[in-house]
Chain A
Amino acid sequence: MKEDVSRSLRSRNRGGGVDGAAEPFVPAAVHADGLTTALDGVGLAPGGRRFDPAEAPVRISGAQIVGIGVVLLVPPIWLLSLRHVDLTRMTDIGLVSVIPRTTFVLAAVTTVSFLVLLFTRPASTRLLFLHVLVLMLVLFATPSVVEAVPRLGATWRHVGIADYITRTGRVDATIDAYFDWPAFFIGLSFVTKMAGLSNAVALARWAPIFLNLLYLPPLFVLLRQATDDRRIVWLAVWIFYSANWVGQDYLSPQGFSYFLYLTVLALLLRFFVDFERRRSAADLVRALETWTAASHAAARRLRPLASAFVASFRRLPLHRRVPWSLGRPARAAAAPSSSGPLGVPLQRAQLMAVAIVVSAVTVPMHQLTPFALLIAVTALAVLGFSSARRLPVILAVLILAWLVFMASAYLAGHFGGVVKEVGDVQGSLNSNLGARIAGSPGHLTVVIVRLGMTAVLWLLAAAGLLAAPQRGTRVLAVLAFAPFLLLALQSYGGEVLLRIYLFALPAISFLAAAMLVRMQDAAGWRSSPVLAAMVVALVGGCLVTRYGNEKMDAFTKTEVGAVDAIYARAAPRSLIIAGSSNMPWDFEDYEKHDLLKIVDISAWRKLDGTEATNRRLLVEIEDLMRDRQKSPSAFLVLTRSQVAETDLFATAPRGSLTRLWRAVAASADFRAVYSQPDAAVYVIVPKRERR
């Protein structure tokens, strides 16, 4: 008897989703002998009374004990294992060539522990959450630990733009396109100043882990709406982070605007999307007609919008209707939550106001994200999933207004190019795929792994779409495919496919997770090794794909020292010649100097590995530096990361920049004002001094 009751309690804990304590219990089946059966989801305690989880003895399974051990032990071991990483030995495949095997083992152990917890009920939500944090640490904080200064040249440039705003208190759109979408830099300038920092370099180092932490709440909200199976939600979160190799999560406008993108989609899916409604072709036509009519009406209603926004924040009695409609209440909105009276128009108006304001801030923050958001919210509205039918219209008006009135300087200079790219899908594909599958053998290996991982994830997502339907499968399928419309807008400097992947990643992670869970449910324990191998490979692959360019992306203190040496000597409007723009450049005096890249000089493109072509390049650089009519002073800066970039992308025979560096160091025409193994700065020796 005692054993039966104990068995019954254990069984009860297996039911009701991942976190047994948090899930409702379904009605119980009671045996003829009066004992509660050992079925999943049994909700009655012996004797027929409602089971109270608080009364259950606290039981910790073996998997949970192991999980606690993993969460406690992996971070310190990971940290210790990174003590002796020698970045100078890095090869063309990036960070994986120097980080110890321990890191991979720890990532694999964490992943297996996470999967065991996920598929062993009752799984603790807290433990799963802590596993995700450990994964983030290993995947996103490893460079922050092993590298002395923030990575990526763009990071330093962004620090410099914020520094410019701090110094001058204004934005100058004539400097470059960053100032046409300056919201992020204005915010960064404000935060840096108030935090008492001299610049944002200190913030940049830990930005990747910070941003990925930031993504977790909206990602979780978004995924949770699409299914009741929390195994799919957590596995999708795991896949999202493991497959996020695009690396836009640094101190950047796109990193922060991506968070806002996730937030708006999460709000829509949580409060304004009807997941339950079945649709036929006729429904879609009707939805399209409705949306078109609503769009026309919205244009007339923009004025009441402002007053309604103000009105929504007045504490009116909750039952009072606001004077205009923001769309019909989504039936699913109130269903899966306990968050309150969502059917009340006032609260929906408030939440829609929040969605509008958050969307609005993405518009001056980044060029591409508002368009991705616009496409996503429009697709949901046009296909009849979202009741927020006026949001796309408002967002479109905001984007257009910003382009016309605030980014006019950019449009004036680039209008022809922008218009030319619209509809040129073939050109976008060429610049995004063809041009990128090139470089040194090591770099090509990384590119192939990236393509392979992406293809496998898309295949899994497609399989999930067809074979593992969930409540939100159709909605997330829309979010997965809608970003592809960006391909028809522009190539985005050869990066639009990467960005499309990033914008679609939450949805494809969900669909892939649904497929994997379906596979596990169908095949049982036999498929567990396959599932574990796939997810472990994804996590391990992330270290390869995400940090495959680390040889050029990582900087050293001496490289920063070289740039400091220039800033200390260069008068405004000096000419700075560099191997490439890949260096910690522009973090000060953003507007004051001109940078000329050696890879853009005609003699660079004629290099064939011979001494003669190298000599011609050297002479051309010397001539440029002696031309004092253009610049008050001239500096040549050569760094290890520039050499790494030119070798990785193979824009000239391997070792070209190194040969040039040797020739400069040996030349009597150049004098080093800063010289370290990783970086050197040269000035030209006047001809009279040479004599």
Chain B
Amino acid sequence: MRAASVLWPAAALAWAGTAAAMVFGGAADGPRTPVVIGFLLICPGLSLTRLLDIRELATAATLTLALSITVDTGLAGLMLYAGVWSPRIEFAVLVAIVAVATALDALLRPHKAPVGEVPAP
């Protein structure tokens, strides 16, 4: 198992935990702003992009950022139009998405065939 395959999920989970502690613990400002914005910008997209198994850095970065913005914005919009607008609940859902996607990634990645060895359809 490559170190990166453990490092990224662990980092995403740690980041999610820190951000959640700051948000739900009521941290006022200071490090909260960069930690939470960093989490929202990277973690949801990163955890989903890893499920896509993209191995080019630029493409993975593009998907990570785009999926994060898409999920953050889309979920917020859905909740608002559904009449259940609550930033804290949305944040909790995002943390859950990161946790579930990271767990899926950790469970499934060892079973994946290495690149180039996938049988033809």
B-contacting residues of A (Cβ < 8 Å)?
165, 169-171, 182-184, 186-187, 189-191, 193-197, 202-203, 214, 217-218, 220-221, 224, 256, 259-260, 263, 266-267, 270, 313, 315, 318-321, 337-341, 343-345, 347, 350-351, 354, 357-358, 360-361, 364-365
Across the interface, which residues of A come within 8 angstroms of B29, CB to CB? 196-197
- CB A253 to nearest CB in B, in angstroms, measures 10
A340: chain B residues within 8 A (beta carbon): 53-55, 115, 118
Given the known inter-chain contacts A315-B108, A338-B115, please indicate yes or no for A195 contacting B36, CB distance below 8 A: yes
Query: Could you give 18 example pairs across A and B, Cβ below 8 Å?
Result: A169-B80, A191-B36, A194-B40, A196-B22, A196-B29, A197-B33, A218-B66, A221-B58, A266-B62, A315-B104, A318-B118, A337-B56, A339-B54, A340-B54, A341-B115, A360-B74, A361-B69, A361-B70
Task: Give chain B nearest CB distance to A566 CB in angstroms.
Answer: 27
Residues of chain B lying within 8 A (CB to CB) of residue A351: 52
Main secondary structure of the interface of B (DSSP, over half): helix
Q: A190 CA to B104 CA in the complex, in Å?
A: 27
Contact between chains at A260 and B69 (CB < 8 Å): yes
* Secondary structure call for the A interface: helix
Interface centre among B29, B72, B80 (most CB of A within 10 A): B80
Nearest B residue (CB) for A270: B59
CB pair A260–B32 under 8 Å, yes or no, is no
Set of chain B residues within 8 Å of A169, measured between Cβ atoms: 80, 85
Report the bound CA distance from A365 to B74 in whole Å: 10
The answer, among A193, A344, A358, A365, for a CB contact under 8 Å with B66, is A358
With A339-B59, A361-B70 in contact, do A194 and B91 touch (Cβ < 8 Å)? yes
In the complex, A184 Cα to B65 Cα: how many Å? 15
Report whether B61 and A187 are in contact in the complex, using a CB–CB cutoff of 8 Å.
no
- Return chain A residues, CB-CB under 8 Å to B77: 182-183, 186-187, 364
Interface hits, B15-43 → A, CB 8 Å: 22-23, 27-29, 32-33, 36-37, 40
Q: Give the residue of A183, A221, A341, A360 whose beta carbon is less than 8 angstroms from that of B62.
A: A221
Q: Evaluate contact between A194 and B80: CB separation under 8 angstroms.
A: no
By a CB distance below 8 angstroms, the chain A residues around B80 are: 165, 169-171, 186
Chain B contacts with A in 68-104, Cβ cutoff 8 A: 69-70, 72-74, 76-77, 80, 85, 87-88, 90-91, 104
Most chain A CB neighbours (cut-off 10 Å) among B62, B77, B120, B121: B62
Query: Which residues on the A side are within 8 Å of B67 (C-beta)?
Result: 354, 357-358
Q: State whether A183 and B58 are in contact (beta carbons under 8 Å apart), knowing that A318-B118, A351-B52, A354-B63 are contacts in the complex.
A: no
A221 to B72, CA, bound (A): 23
Check: B14 CB closer than 8 A to any chain A CB: no
Which of A194, A224, A343 has the most C-beta atoms of chain B within 10 angstroms of its own C-beta? A194
| CB pair A191 B121 closer than 8 Å | no
Tell me the smallest distance from the CB of A220 to a CB of chain B, in Å.
5
Specify which chain A residues have a CB less than 8 angstroms from the CB of B72 in the assembled complex.
187, 190-191
- Is A260 a contact partner of B91 (Cβ separation < 8 A)? no
Q: Is the CB of B37 within 8 A of A260?
A: no
CB-based contact A191/B65 at 8 Å: no
Measured between beta carbons, the chain A residues less than 8 angstroms from B121 are: 319-321, 343-345
Taken together as a complex, chains A and B put the C-alpha atoms of A263 and B66 apart, in Å, by 7
Question: Is B66 touching A195 in the complex (CB atoms < 8 A)?
Answer: no
Q: Using Cβ atoms and an 8 Å threshold, which residues of chain B touch A266?
A: 59, 62
A320 CA to B67 CA, complexed, in Å: 25
Residue on A nearest B86 in the bound complex, by CB? A169
**Whole-angstrom distance between the alpha carbons of A313 and B22 in the complex?**
31
A183 to B74, CA, bound (A): 7
* A354 / chain B contacts, CB cutoff of 8 Å: 52, 63, 66-67
* Bound-complex Cα distance A197 to B59 (A): 32
With beta carbons under 8 angstroms apart, the residue of A190, A260, A263, A339 that contacts B87 is A190
Q: Are A194 and B23 in contact (CB under 8 A)?
A: yes
B55 touches A218 (CB 8 A): no
A350 lies within 8 A of B66 (CB): no
Is residue B119 within 8 Å, beta carbon to beta carbon, of the partner chain?
A: yes
| Docked complex Cα distance between A191 and B61 (Å) | 20
Alpha-carbon gap, A221 to B51, bound state (A): 20
Determine whether B110 belongs to the interface, using a CB cutoff of 8 Å to chain A: no
- As a 0/1 sequence over residues 107 to 121 of chain B, the CB contacts with chain A under 8 angstroms (1 = contact) are 010001101101111
Q: Roughly how many angstroms separate A203 CA and B62 CA in the complex, as a whole number? A: 21
Asked if residues B36 and A196 are in contact (CB atoms below 8 Å), the reply is yes
- Inside 8 A of A361's CB, which chain B residues have their CB? 69-70, 73-74
A224 to B58, CA, bound (A): 10
Which chain B positions have C-beta within 8 A of A203? 37
* Known A-B contacts A195-B32, A221-B62; A347 and B53 likewise in contact (beta carbons under 8 Å): yes
> Assuming the A-B contacts A319-B119, A345-B121, A357-B70, are A195 and B76 also in contact, with contact meaning beta carbons closer than 8 angstroms in the complex?
no
Give the residue name and chain of the A residue nearest to B90 (CB). Answer: A190
- Which listed residue (A187, A197, A224, A263) contacts B76, Cβ 8 A? A187
User: How far is the CB of B47 from the nearest CB of chain A, in Å?
Assistant: 12
| Docked complex Cα distance between A488 and B52 (Å) | 39
